[in-house]
Structure 1
């Protein structure tokens, strides 16, 4: 049986660092969860380091600004690792060519700003699909539209042998009470159609390598002293398992209904859900606090 805990403080002394998911764990896309913020601040006051580990398809500087607006203060975290940063490095290394077709909202155009940490980045030009060598997907044009609306473009891209760089492997997120599709839903569709999708966020190794490098700027922490915290089975949990890291599963996010979470998950429903997902977690709690 999974150990269900009431507060992070019950286990925090066992860890020197936490890789903490943002959406669904520290905020709901609109505002911060006060108890979750307090838990991170307490962990840091006790000497722990907090790495905000997010599948946001943007550079960490923009995420820092965003979380401040949501009400997450700077003293709740030490550094940030984003799938956007990991994916940008791949793009500027030429992973999908020089001429790319961008699928995503206007506010994601910061993704294409020059990558200062790279010595010799390739020149990237955004072009229409018919003139592209590859696709960069930071999210759907319309987060409420079914991903299948992209089938015609994806069929064309597949026949041309284009690769799709996915800057956010999340399938869905909940913005307040509204569920929205993410780039991962489009990448999954492209793969199902026979195209090749490249992933750089959770649960894939590249973002964990980035998180460890960012953490090493503050402290040298062995893997057995790192705790991953998040609400996504396919991203946070499977990513932690793939890296052999302990994980605290926040059940009140994406799987609140499936786990019977009100304040805490229903133990029987949680175990049934985990069995159906063919996975296990070190700890679980309804909401980070």
Structure 2
């Protein structure tokens, strides 16, 4: 595939786009702190008449995640709208109410289920389907910790709804597992998985609807740029929607795309993309204006 163009600064192509669909974790923060230069780039884009829509695979509704962005120091003027995998997944969950549903995930993800009229099951034996947001204790657990529990669910052919398709994210200097890693395990056990977040269509439909409302007119898809660090989520999602993409090739990728001169090496970035047969128009180590 064609190598991405090195894009050290967003300002070089900002005039070509009306809308940025920007990933959150791994682009503007790492779960512990926000990155001022990335936030500034989004703010500048908005100030010049653009529209930034944050698009995150967080399993919670956007309204519940905004407080986290505030606590990490992400300026409110760096984005105009915010959609999450949780927002898209709530539609899937509502269609399956009242369940009962066997829920796997940390207590902080409880807002995903509020107001949906779902009954809760204690395990696979009495569930109509499974809902996963991630490991219950993601700072210490791995997907293998769930193999024994999920095997009976797959054996009963229970559908698993995964509210966070991300496999891993970087929290501070540590890599942690997310819901997508549990979904991969479930599929390996022969189970059925449904996801609505990136790279799947429902979350993009929500994000583009938000952009249209901001602009007061239909979106020209040729003037939409997706930004993200996840190849199987952000980049493939952009590819499936036929949208341009800026691949942030640092974060979870470490120095794999860094050249010997310390800047992005498009050939090394392409190696990362080739693993998933993905394409990005641009690549950068960090988001900067």
TM bracket (short chain): over 0.9
Partners of 2:92 and 2:210 lie apart in 1 by 18
Q: Given that residues 252 and 265 in structure 1 are in contact (C-alpha distance below 8 angstroms), is that contact kept between their aligned partners in structure 2?
A: no
Q: Given that residues 135 and 142 in structure 2 are in contact (C-alpha distance below 8 angstroms), is that contact kept between their aligned partners in structure 1?
A: no
> Among 107, 124, 135, which residue is 2:118 paired with?
124
Deviations 1:150-197 (A, max 9, x none): 112211111222110000000000001000000000011101110001
Residue 117 of structure 1: aligned partner: none
Q: By how many angstroms is 1:271 displaced? A: 2.9
Partners of 1:99 and 1:240 lie apart in 2 by 34
Residue 5 of structure 2: aligned partner: 3
Residue 103 of structure 2: aligned partner: 102
Partners of 1:274 and 1:132 lie apart in 2 by 38
Residue 118 of structure 1: aligned partner: none
Partners of 1:6 and 1:176 lie apart in 2 by 23
Residue 273 of structure 2: aligned partner: 274
Q: By how many angstroms is 1:241 displaced? A: 0.3
Partners of 2:13 and 2:195 lie apart in 1 by 32
Q: By how many angstroms is 1:131 displaced? A: 1.8
Residue 172 of structure 2: aligned partner: 176
Query: What is the correspondence of 1:97-246 to structure 2 with a 5 Å cutoff?
Result: 98-114=99-115, 123-129=117-123, 130-143=125-138, 144-219=140-215, 220=217, 221-246=219-244
Q: Given that residues 236 and 279 in structure 2 are in contact (C-alpha distance below 8 angstroms), is that contact kept between their aligned partners in structure 1?
A: no
CA RMSD of aligned residues (A): 1.5
Residue 88 of structure 1: aligned partner: 90
Q: By how many angstroms is 1:263 displaced? A: 5.5
- TM-score for the superposition, normalised by structure 2: 0.93
Deviates more, 1:177-186 or 1:205-214: 205-214
Q: By how many angstroms is 1:2 displaced? A: 1.7
Residue 260 of structure 1: aligned partner: 258
> Among 23, 35, 38, which residue is 1:36 paired with?
38
Which 5+ residue runs of structure 1 have no aligned equivalent? 115-120
Q: 1:256 to 1:264 in 2, by over 3 A?
A: farther
In structure 1, the residue corresponding to 2:256 is in which secondary structure?
A: coil
In structure 2, the residue corresponding to 1:29 is in which secondary structure?
A: coil
Deviates more, 1:163-172 or 1:105-114: 105-114
Residue 78 of structure 1: aligned partner: 80
Q: 1:222 to 1:75 in 2, by over 3 A?
A: same
Which 5+ residue runs of structure 2 have no aligned equivalent? none
Q: By how many angstroms is 1:217 displaced? A: 1.6
Q: 1:5 to 1:165 in 2, by over 3 A?
A: same
- TM-score for the superposition, normalised by structure 1: 0.93
Q: By how many angstroms is 1:63 displaced? A: 1.4
Q: Given that residues 7 and 284 in structure 2 are in contact (C-alpha distance below 8 angstroms), is that contact kept between their aligned partners in structure 1?
A: yes
